[in-house]
């Protein structure tokens, strides 16, 4: 099963038919528990159980349940995607266990999709949420986040606290697996875009260190160029990313449109397989990212997951 997705909104809705939650800066994960065994699945449906050994405690909650939530790494009480990036693509169990002791994660469970063998996706969110709260999951590596009546006040509070934003959900809405619905609306404070890496350039004066990446988004004709980013790649972040890029090197540009000569100069082209997140000041009307900064690899996403409707260029900041 793939998770239900929120649609970008323009104005936080009001009224008693809506519930509002904090938008967590983490990795979307479905937690499937059967007979005490926990399996974790990313939005791409990849099994990521081995990466998060501390979440095995979910197996003691019930013999059979399916949760929707976000894996979050907190630093000083605030979600840190940079910290989470260290945990997201760790296929080795022993390394994952070591990282769990130094950079632990929390599973923020916000929906209940199955319990004791019963499929709950057709029930309204209000019922699913009440059943989730009765499970008393909070504690250890698991949290059930609160919901709020006043979404606009929550949006202002999360902005002041430097949090990711707000998600507003209709209380009467069923859960629609794999679908992007107007019943769930998202309002991020920072414009972040997921892109596919199509090339890389070395650091000036160095042939061995990563200096910048060339990124794009999938369109109907292929990969559309969105710009070049060097910010956020210093130190270990750039080294780790380059290790993932080297096996993807190829002879031809994967972009279907023209890459400006100033960006293409000295570039090594890549097969368009790796997805990363970038924070950008804005996206110009020409479709270019303005002052993009690398945030981390999205091993939970494939290029085919990047619907063009969620990456539409705009000349203003996204809410």
Active-site annotation, residues: 23
Which pair of structure tokens corresponds to residue 253? 């540009």
Tokens matching residue 236: 């270990």
3-class SS at 286? coil
Q: What is the SS3 assignment for 276? A: strand
Contact status, residue 114 vs residue 131, Cβ threshold 8 Å: no
The answer to whether the beta carbons of residues 125 and 171 sit under 8 Å apart is yes
Q: Compute, in degrees rounded to 10, the torsion defined by CA atoms 47, 311, 239, 23.
A: -60
Helix, strand or coil for residue 242? Answer: helix
Q: Are 11 and 168 in contact (CB under 8 A)?
A: no
* Cβ atoms of residues 169 and 181 within 8 Å: no
CB of 81 closer than 8 Å to CB of 277 = yes
The Cα-based distances of 142 to 92, 107, 135, 272 in angstroms read: 23, 5, 12, 35
- How far apart are alpha carbons 264 and 67 in whole angstroms? 44
- Burial tier of 316 (Cβ tally within 10 Å: 0-12, 13-18, 19+): exposed
Question: Max alpha carbon distance in the chain (Å)?
Answer: 61
CA distances from 266 to 206, 207, 212, 233 (A): 12, 10, 11, 17
In the chain, how many H helices and how many E strands? 6, 21
């Amino acid at each position: 099963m793939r998770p239900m997705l929120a649609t970008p909104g323009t104005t936080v809705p009001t009224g008693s038919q809506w519930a509002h939650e904090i938008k967590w800066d983490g990795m979307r994960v479905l937690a499937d528990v059967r007979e005490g065994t926990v399996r974790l699945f990313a939005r791409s449906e990849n099994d990521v159980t081995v990466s998060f050994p501390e979440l095995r405690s979910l197996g003691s909650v019930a013999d059979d349940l399916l949760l929707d939530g976000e894996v979050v790494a907190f630093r000083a009480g605030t979600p840190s995607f940079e910290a989470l990036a260290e945990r997201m693509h760790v296929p080795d169990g022993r390394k994952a266990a070591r990282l769990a002791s130094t950079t632990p994660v929390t599973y923020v469970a916000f929906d209940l999709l199955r319990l004791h063998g019963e499929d709950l996706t057709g029930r309204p969110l209000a019922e699913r949420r009440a059943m989730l709260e009765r499970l008393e999951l909070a504690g250890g590596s698991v949290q059930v986040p609160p919901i709020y009546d006043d979404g606009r006040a929550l949006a202002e509070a999360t902005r002041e606290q430097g949090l990711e934003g707000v998600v507003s959900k209709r209380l009467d809405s069923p859960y629609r697996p794999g679908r992007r619905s107007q019943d769930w609306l998202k309002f991020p404070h920072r414009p972040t875009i997921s892109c596919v890496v199509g090339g890389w350039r070395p650091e000036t004066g160095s042939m061995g260190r990563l200096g910048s990446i060339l990124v794009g988004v999938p369109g109907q004709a292929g990969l559309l160029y969105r710009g070049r980013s060097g910010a956020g790649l210093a130190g270990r972040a750039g080294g780790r990313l380059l290790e993932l890029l080297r096996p993807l090197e190829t002879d031809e540009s994967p972009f279907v449109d023209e890459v400006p000569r100033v960006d293409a100069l000295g570039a090594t082209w890549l097969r368009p397989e790796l997805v990363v997140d970038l924070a950008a000041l804005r996206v110009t009307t020409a479709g270019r990212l303005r002052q993009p900064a690398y945030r981390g690899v999205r091993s939970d996403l494939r290029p085919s997951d990047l619907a063009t409707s969620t990456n539409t260029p705009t000349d203003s900041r996204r809410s």
